[in-house]
Homo-oligomer: A and B are copies of this chain.
Amino acid sequence: MPIERITIIGTGLIGASIGLALYEAGFQGSITGVDTSGVEMQTALQMGAVSDIAPTSGDHRAAVMQSDLIVLAVPVMAILQWMQTIAPILRDGQLVTDTGSTKLQITEMAAKLMPGRFLPGHPMAGKESGGAALAEATLFHDTTWLFTPAEEPVSNACQTIEVEWRGWVAKFGAKTLDLAPGRHDEVCAWVSHLPQFVSTAMSALLEDTFGNDPDLRAIGGRALREMTRLGSSPFSMWRDIAHTNEAPVAATLLALEQRLQHLRENLRTPELREEFARANAFRKTH
């Protein structure tokens, strides 16, 4: 197999789960873990998600130079920084891929910095909390792994690596789907970013309104727990999504604000029935 050495940059939930999934699926080569947090790196190593770690910047450099595949599994802004760090030391036949939540800026930067050597990716998997300790080999099972390839395909030397990597992703139990990067960011604003920011806003509003009021804790049921679950998501990851996908996210938020206003003004009119009918129809097909 063409992929013998892999470096995973970012051994948090996603990076460590990729390492575990690779070994679970039968990968025989080495996986070097890189993380700015020594704890995350050590945890990933102890879990068997990576075969070795690269603590210093010299070690990072050596690991990247010796790898057939480099996986960038950090938040979006950090991916953009790592791309600039590693671009000068890449040689032909190495493929870089990533797991960033937004794809337009990353795909455009890749076309400039490492044309023909980058496959933009985005596994639609995660948890409301991060960290290597929560990593699982099955995290990607029954999920969709999106790719947003640049218009120019990867170089011939990288193609066998791309084909093998897509094969590993399939072995993780994920379906793959290719989308244009702009379309990816627009659809993800609806299906992922809007739910997150609504859950954050609702949680923050309830915190301001009720604080530690025990009534709320006693009365709140499944509906409240579910609609605020994403309220525990880390700012560090979502700041980058808000920064790199601002216009599509703002458009979905504005549309929902207007929709809520419409519903509020029609709590006692027949339009409420229509709104429930549309919502019921959505749930029947999704």
Enumerate chain A interface residues (CB-CB to B < 8 A).
Answer: 124-125, 143-144, 146, 175, 177, 179, 183, 187-188, 190-192, 194-210, 212, 215-221, 223-235, 238-239, 242-243, 246, 249-250, 253-257, 259-264, 267-268, 272-273, 275-286
A192→B253 CA distance, assembly (Å): 22
- 4 A-B pairs besides A206-B286, A229-B283, A250-B267 with CB distance below 8 A are A143-B221, A225-B286, A243-B268, A256-B260
Task: Tell me whether B243 and A253 are in contact (CB under 8 A).
Answer: no
Contacts of A179 in B (CB 8 A): 215
Residues of B within 8 A of A231 (CB): 279-280, 282-283
A248 to chain B, nearest CB (A): 11
Could you list 30 examples of A-B contacts with CB < 8 Å?
A144-B218, A144-B221, A146-B219, A177-B219, A183-B215, A191-B224, A192-B219, A199-B223, A200-B263, A200-B276, A200-B279, A201-B256, A201-B259, A201-B260, A201-B275, A202-B256, A203-B278, A212-B285, A217-B286, A226-B227, A227-B227, A232-B279, A232-B283, A235-B280, A238-B276, A239-B273, A242-B268, A246-B267, A249-B264, A250-B267
**B199 and A279 contacting across the interface, CB-CB below 8 Å:** yes
Given contacts A282-B204, A285-B212, are A264 and B253 in contact (CB under 8 A)?
A: yes
In angstroms, Cα B177 to Cα A215, docked, is 9
A125 to B146, CA, bound (A): 38
Given contact pairs A263-B201, A264-B257, A220 touches B286 in the complex (Cβ within 8 A): yes
Looking at the assembled complex, report how far the CB atom of A270 sits from the nearest CB atom of chain B, in whole angstroms: 10
| Contact yes or no, A221 B125, CB < 8 A | yes
Nearest Cβ in chain B — how far from A176, in angstroms? 10
With a CB–CB cut-off of 8 A, which chain B residues contact A207?
Answer: 278-279, 281-282
- With A198-B198, A276-B235 known as contacts, the answer to whether A250 contacts B221 (CB < 8 A) is no
- Cβ-neighbour of A235 out of B124, B200, B246, B273 (below 8 A): B273
**A239 x B280 contact (CB < 8 A):** no
Q: Within the complex, what minimum Cβ distance (angstroms) separates A216 from chain B? A: 6
B221 touches A192 (CB 8 A): yes
Cα(A175)–Cα(B215), bound, Å: 12
